[in-house]
Structure 1
Amino acid sequence: MARNSAEKSPSRPAEDAPNAVWFKPVMFGFMLIGLAWIIVFYVSNQQLPVASLGSWNILVGFGILFIGFLMTTRWR
């Protein structure tokens, strides 16, 4: 028997849809900003980016990096 022409071909589920255009630049931006934060902290002899945080600047930098790496799990 012939197929009914009204049948539609299977479409991609919504969860497999590609990411928005802004996703990749934001993801890499977080990673680069986190890396830059840590580098500036060490190069400035622990005076920048926020001197009052002291060694917590490392945690801030890694936190920003971590956000970028978490975004890689959603990248399609």
Structure 2
Amino acid sequence: MPKSRVRKKAVYTPPQKQKEVKVSPRWLAPVMVTSWILGVGWISTWYVWQDAPLLGTLQSWNLLIGFSLIIFGVILSTKWR
């Protein structure tokens, strides 16, 4: 059986591309968690204490404010790496 020839050149291997690691800004996580806490706190405070000076005048808008804060936190959580 004949011997196979040995390659004279080394096989070319392209350099590996390094992926950039995406890092979220430092302010993102605290703002996200604070938004969740404020949203849940706003809604729960309104349910417990509906005669509060500011909360009583807003009526059902309190739900919109609370859920908006919670949704804002969820939107920020999609940007977190």
Bigger Rg, which one: 2
Change over 3 Å in CA distance of 1:43–1:24 after alignment to 2: same
Q: Is the 8 A contact 2:50 2:56 kept in 1?
A: no
The residue number in structure 2 matching 1:24 is: 29
> What value does the CA root-mean-square deviation take over the aligned residues?
2.3
SS of the equivalent of 2:46 reads helix
**Separation in structure 2 between the aligned mates of residue 37 and residue 60 of structure 1, nearest angstrom:** 8
Say whether 1:52 aligns with 2:53.
Answer: no
- Name structure 2 gaps, 5 residues minimum: 1-9
Shift of 1:25: 0.7
- 2:35 touches 2:72 (CA, 8 Å); kept in 1? yes
Number of residue pairs matched by the alignment:
72
User: Offset at 1:18?
Assistant: 1.0
In the alignment, the residues of structure 2 paired with residue 59 and residue 46 of structure 1 have an alpha-carbon distance, to the nearest angstrom, of: 18
Residue 69 of structure 1: aligned partner: 74
User: Gaps (5+ residues) in structure 1?
Assistant: none
Give yes or no for the alignment of 1:43 onto 2:45: no
Identity %: 28
TM-score (norm 1): 0.75
Residue type matched to 1:66 in 2? I
Q: Deviations over 1:1-44 (max 9, x none)?
A: 487xxx8752324xx51101111111111011000000110110
Q: Which moved more, 1:49-58 or 1:31-40?
A: 49-58
